[in-house]
Amino acid sequence: MARVAILVLCMLLLAATCQGLKYGYYSRCCPPAEYIVRDVVGKAVRNNPGVGAGIIRMAFHDCFVRGCDASVLLDPTPANPRPEKLGPPNFPSLRGFEVIDKAKAVLEKVCPGTVSCADIVQFAGRDAAFFLSGYKVNYGVPAGRFDGRVSLENETLAFLPPPFFNLSQLINSFKVKGLNVDDLVVLSGSHTIGRSHCSSFSDRISTPPSDINPALATLLRRQCPANPNFANNPTVVQDIVTPNKLDNQYYKNVLSHKVLFKSDAALLTSSQTAKKVVENAVIRGRWETKFARAMVKMSLIEVKTATNGEIRTKSCRVVN
């Protein structure tokens, strides 16, 4: 009965206009929107925590290319055969598209033509963090984004920082998007969960001298081929201590040189970032609070409006 009442209320309020990027954006035009996304994401994460890690990464990859506009979701078409999702940073490693599809399908039944795919991606990233952190990362997301109509593979390499970047390159790539050094250190903490292909760090375990922990390097050499390629490129967990939990273990791993990427190790190459690593590692609750704030800040990058975007109605995979 409660579900029916919510659906009826939603339909009665559909005529209300959602305007402006704000918290509670859908409270009048689609009241159950955020609850629907959280329900879909929660079920997916409980079934497979790795999907949750993929969704958090998706939120990041979407925002860094053309802003938070769901351009990363668009499928290839004859007119655009190489969208973002086929770019090297995204294919074949980016995960969670089916979760966004499911949430969108439910929302289109309840509130047709109302909830943008861009908002769904940011809600889903927030909800994945909530469940994977054991409810410790809990924050609101301002909504009202519109969906982009353009998605280009070559822009992924231009804007998404690769795992081999040094610190100055990382700082510059975040600065371009309006994010600062603290945001860089905090958002890097998402590497505490998920998996990585061996090709992303093979140089760190095969070419001395590397600062990676010798025992970890030995373990990784057992799991990875000497020369990973498209046909033989296994994945390994990014955090060997708490692989399925979003927590501050990443920073402890950085300090003990038990991280996979050169970009992770780069956080110790300046006193400014190294101090932030230590704080996130030892101060209880510090990172979770900062991560929530940084995710909200990131979600505001280059947001589309009705003047340069749309609300995809058929599917998040195609423009209207």
Which residues contact residue 21 at a Cβ distance below 8 angstroms, ignoring those fewer than 6 apart?
A: 142, 143, 144, 145, 300, 303
Single out the residue of 38, 35, 34, 27 nearest to residue 2, CA to CA.
35
Longest dimension (CA), the chain: 65
Confidence of residue 115 (pLDDT cuts 50, 70, 90): very high
What pLDDT sits at residue 15? 35
Confidence of residue 9 (pLDDT cuts 50, 70, 90): very low
Single out the residue of 133, 117, 146 nearest to residue 58, CA to CA.
117
Which of 81-95, 172-186, 203-217 has the lowest average pLDDT?
203-217
Question: What's 315's DSSP letter?
Answer: -
What pLDDT sits at residue 192? 97
What pLDDT sits at residue 35? 98
- Average pLDDT estimate for 37-63: 98
> Is there a common fold for 2-160 and 167-297?
no
pLDDT (tens digit per residue) in 135-194: 999 999 999 999 999 999 999 999 999 999 999 999 999 999 999 999 999 999 999 999
Dist CA 14 CA 305 (whole Å): 19
Would the pLDDT of 12 be above 70? no
- pTM for the full predicted model: 0.92
pLDDT (tens digit per residue) in 211-227: 999 999 999 999 999 99
Average pLDDT, the chain: 93
What pLDDT sits at residue 314? 86
- Average pLDDT estimate for 256-260: 97
Active site residues: 61
Would the pLDDT of 99 be above 80? yes
pLDDT (tens digit per residue) in 300-314: 999 999 999 999 998
Confidence of residue 207 (pLDDT cuts 50, 70, 90): confident
What number of other Cβ atoms are within 10 A of residue 229's Cβ? 9
What pLDDT sits at residue 139? 97
What pLDDT sits at residue 209? 66
Which of 18-22, 33-37, 152-156 has the lowest average pLDDT?
18-22
- CATH class held by domain 167-297: mainly alpha
Which tops the pLDDT comparison, 290 or 8? 290
All structural domains of the chain with their residue ranges: 2-160, 167-297
pLDDT (tens digit per residue) in 271-282: 999 999 999 999
CA 111 to chain centroid: 25
CATH value of 2-160 in 1.10.150.170, 1.10.10.10, 3.40.50.1000, 1.10.520.10: 1.10.520.10
What pLDDT sits at residue 304? 96
Question: What's 161's DSSP letter?
Answer: P
Would the pLDDT of 14 be above 90? no
- Average pLDDT estimate for 256-280: 98
Single out the residue of 196, 164, 186 nearest to residue 94, CA to CA.
196
What pLDDT sits at residue 75? 98
What pLDDT sits at residue 206? 85
